[in-house]
Amino acid sequence: MTASSSPLAQGAVGDTPPPITASPPVGARQWLLQRVYDLFIGVIWMTSSPLFLLGGLVQPRLARKALSLSTSGLPELEPSHPERPRVLVHGVSVGEIKAAQSIVGALQDRYEVVVSAFSDTGLEVAGQLFPGVTIVRYPFDFLPLVRRFWARIRPDHVLLMELEAWPCFLREANRRGAPVAVVSGRITEESFRRYRMFGSLPEFGRISLFAAQDEAYAARFRALAGSCERVVITGNVKIDGLRSLESSEPDPAVEELRWTAGLDDVDGSRLVVLAGSTHEPEEALFLAAALEAVPDARLVIVPRHPERGSGVASELAGALGADRAPELLSQLRREGVRGSIDRPLIVDTIGELERLYGLADIVFVGGSLIPHGGQNMMEPAAQGRPVIYGPHVQNFAEETALLESAGAAIRVADQRCLTAELGRLALDRDARARMGQAGRTALLGQRGATGATLAAWTARCVLPA
């Protein structure tokens, strides 16, 4: 559903509930569940954090993550200015942080924005996307850590991208009078069933607003929150922040990437075929399909987790031979040399994928040939690239339905079908162009969710001055 067809845009009838700025009353059962949860999560923290610190002797990033989850090194912010309230925008990892771009941009004129993430890659991407914005690690949901986080960051409002609701965090938000909203809300059927198993423990009744992407997600939020009034449909803000929905100024980072990847002298006769956000063993499946279908193409593989890059390169080297062994983007940069068009490129760095999509002729989106649920296929489609993915895309049901109905994407059943479609598109320039234009047009028609989301949030979460 588009933002323009949402109940909010049409002027939904009914009372607008006030923001939740205090803890709602709880019965004895709920109080007991809270205490059991606090004890359970405390035991997990007290037993796992020493293990992470010990593991840091071998992998320092484990110790750094454990310390930052404990709020070590967290800045202590001054209270916000009354005329410029502080809004914490939280995303779990890379996908949610990238989805927040249009929201953060729209808020910055009137609000002080702080961005938080849970994963290392999410923090790194946030630092790239939001220069000048305070970036912090979201705390582990152990009450003493959560309270220290709130005491130091002092947000007046909280926006949770897509979902990511933790009981201690929500309780502390209520206690401190900070309304919480879920924006661009989405919840898969699997996650919905998992939340239902825990009954009232997730405490969705503490959230002032669920701004859902579509009706299917909205229905699940209504069931979990026990409320219709606090759920509205505003669309997917991720679409508003997609790269190259319209023409943009030349990007020096793209030109540097084009040169380093060895794509600056590629003409139309040598296709660039890219696999983005792949999971094991999709790299090997994609390589086999591409070598059979388009043996002369320049192949680029971007694992979903960049730290897998060197392992992926080693694995694929055995199938290619020494003269065609894959190259790592990080190594090319360190050495200041251009990549070879005859050797696959493995991208083991953060924040490159959207730029690379714009340099490709055909894109395969990973997480879909295996039962993972898929990855964001809108990013290449927005840049006018024909998109292929596998059968396992249940986490992006609305997005795939939109692209497939527009003729912008192809769903394949397995590696054999991937080989066939790569070969067909490689030979049909017109088909590639039609698919690319169809994807751009479909996504342009879905924009506007950011405005609808902020209108709903202002009406339901922002108290009059």
Alpha helices in 383-448 (DSSP H): 397-406, 415-427, 429-444
CATH class of the domain defined by 27-243+448-461: alpha beta
Q: Annotated active-site positions, please?
A: 96
List, for residues 33-83, the tens digit of each pLDDT value.
999 999 999 999 999 999 988 888 888 888 888 888 999 889 999 999 999
Q: Which residues of the chain have pLDDT under 70?
A: 1-15, 245-249, 265-269, 464-465
The pLDDT value given to residue 1: 41
DSSP 8-state assignment for residue 84: B
Q: Please provide the CATH number assigned to the domain covering 252-444.
A: 3.40.50.2000
The pLDDT value given to residue 26: 86
Rg of the chain over Cα atoms, rounded to whole angstroms, equals 23
Contact 235, 208 (CB under 8 A): no
The helix (run of H) or strand (run of E) holding residue 115 is strand 112-117
Distance CA 104, CA 112 (A): 10
The pLDDT value given to residue 4: 39
List, for residues 270-323, the tens digit of each pLDDT value.
899 999 999 999 999 999 999 999 999 999 999 999 999 999 999 999 888 778
No. of helices (H) and no. of strands (E), the chain: 21, 14
Decide whether 27-243+448-461 matches 252-444 in CATH topology.
yes
Tokens for 381, please give them: 């489609």
The pLDDT value given to residue 419: 98
Contact 364, 275 (CB under 8 A): yes
Kindly report the pTM of this predicted structure.
Answer: 0.89
What is the residue extent of each domain of the chain? 27-243+448-461, 252-444
The pLDDT value given to residue 313: 95
Q: In what order do the strands lie in the sheet with 231-233?
A: 134-137, 112-117, 86-91, 157-161, 180-185, 209-212, 231-233
